[in-house]
A and B are shown apart, each in its own frame.
Chain A
């Protein structure tokens, strides 16, 4: 009796934990299960199982093109965001620069502005400078969104960097450029790789900004959205499952990398 009472908080916690897991995993599991269903509508019971939907998806030129387009945009915006973010982080830790707090606040702003607002403002911005919607505009939007995450990750790592590593490099004959590329950048390496993977995921996942800034060529989320409008079918489930598996793998790898960087 006494045991049951004293265990109550623990038991409740454990129960919540399992409920949460169920809540998290059930929809995903359902989605995945339906992708194997041998019928062209989504409903229980599943009945016969098949891999036909996957074959169909893999042969779908539209899907493959959207994938390629998404990856290309992700790569470009990641590269831009990483360069910019690292540069801003360096600026924030540099000595003798005024307004570092303001730079930091500004750099972080895009992470907290609602996606919708940011998308609309960017749309207005590009039309005032006569920039057409499309690839370049999407890349611009994704880059702005991703920069704060790079800044924070790079900054955390930079702050843990012994101050005299760069001094030592300078002492041994490196000018500030050589010292950056041979000492600071390798030191930042693991944090930057983690940040880059995060940028890729943000970009691939983004719908709102892409929707407002994009042209006629669909990215992956836009294609899936368009397909859903035409009614659910196990083909969409197969598509989504593929995206889920790939992005989850990439995300876990990023987590592994940043964890390793932290324990070093």
Chain B
């Protein structure tokens, strides 16, 4: 199937500063795609280029197979939900939503029907005549969303639309956004710097770093098999064990981490003895116990810190001179771990390995 959006080797720089570098990205229709990355990595710039507000220095942007690189925003069939909503302050909710429809030249009856339909979708029928200033943050958010959806764009662009909301409302809106996307079947291109938000909503996450794509995949893959140290650190909490390969055995590798021998799945790499690798060990993959586990990797350590987090307790365990591991412990298991010395263990197949790009070996 033809991708609905294609960035073809797109570069955008401001003066000497390169905001987006050689971006290649294809987006399938009907997907919820998230651009994720730290502030300043070029997410908004990419989105604004697709919206038509910035022109790339080089490369092409295709929308539905047509080159739109130099088409002005009003002639592109995409709509943006802005971070601060950008609702027209002098127009009622209904007028705001109708704006794009009027400019499409639809007749009044048609517009009226569509506006009501959209207001119903977010339960704002009773607010049609209000001004944006008379709405709560969450309601404004919904109006901005409906205004952008109204003209039936090929792709809906959302630039950190939830960042102005408080935590509770943000979670609620994440679910609502996802369900609206599923109901309408639209392609959503969502921008955020919040990895949790990305994991919650996306079909595909595109991790960006310094104007480039770092890794792209579904949330499961990105979380379970991060391809780089950056991704491993950016998505979720993680223990990164910098280790040296001491031998391979089938598809498991034996490694030396701070003098401790551990085993890890190779994850498609073909490591040779002496290579440096990072083992990605998620805190929830670690099992803490008072007795020595019978299989898998196991190390004896000392509990240095316990942080109660409600639904779990976070333990910092010192397993070798200065080498720490963070582990999550279920409340039911905390009681048996009151001693200072405990065992930490994990199954080799729950980890993945990342090559150490900076190593000279």
Contacts and interface: CB of A to CB of B under 8 A. Distances in A.
Contacts of A174: 74, 99, 103
Interface residues of B, number: 24
A175 B74 contact: yes
Interface in B92-106: 99-100, 103-104
A248 B90 CA distance: 29
Interface in B209-237: none
Residue with the greatest number of chain B CB neighbours at <10 A, chosen from A164, A168, A175, A187: A168
A162 B83 CA distance: 12
Interface in A159-173: 162, 164-165, 167-173
Contact of B79 (A172, A183, A187, A189): A172
7 pairs of A and B residues whose beta carbons are closest in the complex: A172-B100, A173-B103, A168-B86, A164-B86, A170-B73, A186-B90, A173-B74
A102 B104 CA distance: 40
Contacts of A164: 82, 84, 86
A178 interface: yes
B257 interface: no
B147 interface: yes
Interface residues of A, number: 19
Contacts of B73: 167, 170-171
26 contacts: A162-B86, A164-B82, A165-B86, A165-B88, A165-B89, A167-B80, A167-B82, A167-B86, A168-B86, A168-B87, A168-B88, A169-B88, A170-B72, A170-B73, A171-B52, A172-B74, A172-B79, A172-B100, A172-B148, A173-B151, A174-B74, A174-B99, A178-B103, A183-B88, A186-B90, A187-B90
Summarize A's interface: helix, strand, loop or mixed. helix
A191 to B, nearest CB: 13
B88 A171 contact: no
B90 A168 contact: no
B53 interface: yes
Given A172-B79, A172-B151, A173-B74, A187 B99 contact: no
Interface in B130-177: 133, 147-148, 151
Contacts of A165: 86, 88-89
Given A171-B74, A187-B89, A162 B84 contact: yes
B301 interface: no
B90 A171 contact: no
B80 A168 contact: yes
